[in-house]
Amino acid sequence: MSDRSRDGYTLTTDPARVDVDLVHRWLSEESYWAAGRAHDVVARSIAGSLPYSIWRDGTQVAFARAVTDGATFVWICDVFVTTAHRGRGLGQWLVDAIVADLSAAGLQRFLLATRDAHEVYRRSGFEPLAGPTRFMEIDRRPTRGAILASLPDPE
C-alpha cells in the first residue's frame, strides 16, 4: 500500500494524513449512515481500520476505511467524497484501491453496504449477496431508519 496519484489527486493509506476533524464533520453532518456520530467514535473507528484518503491541493477530499481481520474478510465502509469532487470517480478509486491492496495481501471476501450507490460498487465487482438469508445482525444505530429508507420492500 503506497501513495498513488492521478488527475491532480493523491490517494494515500497513511493514517497520519487523515484529517480526523474533517472526516468527522463529513460523516456526522453530511452522511445518512453516520449522522450524529461522535468525534471520539470516528477517531476510534479510523484508528481500528485501514484508512484510505484522497487529497488535492493540500486538502482531503475523500475518505474510506477497511475493517479487516487481515486474513479472510474485509468490510469497506464510510466511503465519502466531498460534494465539490463528486462525479470524478474518486469513490470508485477508493474502493478499487482497497480491493486491489487487500486482494494482493490474500484476502478474498469483501463486503460493503450502500443505500444508493449500487452502480458505483458494481463497477468495482460487487454484486448483491448470494445468500442474504444467511446473514444476521444486531443493529442498534440511531440512523438505521435513514439507512434502510430506500430499500425495496422484501415482499
Question: Is a pLDDT exceeding 70 seen at residue 152?
Answer: no
User: What does the pLDDT read at residue 150?
Assistant: 59
Question: Is a pLDDT exceeding 50 seen at residue 70?
Answer: yes
Cβ-based neighbours of 53, under 8 Å, separated by 6 or more: 11, 12, 13, 14, 17, 18, 19, 60, 62, 63
More confident residue, 151 or 112: 112
Report the CATH fold assignment for 11-124: Aminopeptidase (3.40.630)
CB 44, CB 64: distance < 8 Å: no
Question: Is a pLDDT exceeding 90 seen at residue 109?
Answer: yes
Domain ranges of the chain: 11-124
Q: What would the pLDDT profile of 17-63 be if each residue is shown by its tens digit?
A: 999 999 999 999 999 999 999 999 999 999 999 999 999 999 999 99
Q: How far apart are CA 129 and CA 122, in angstroms?
A: 12
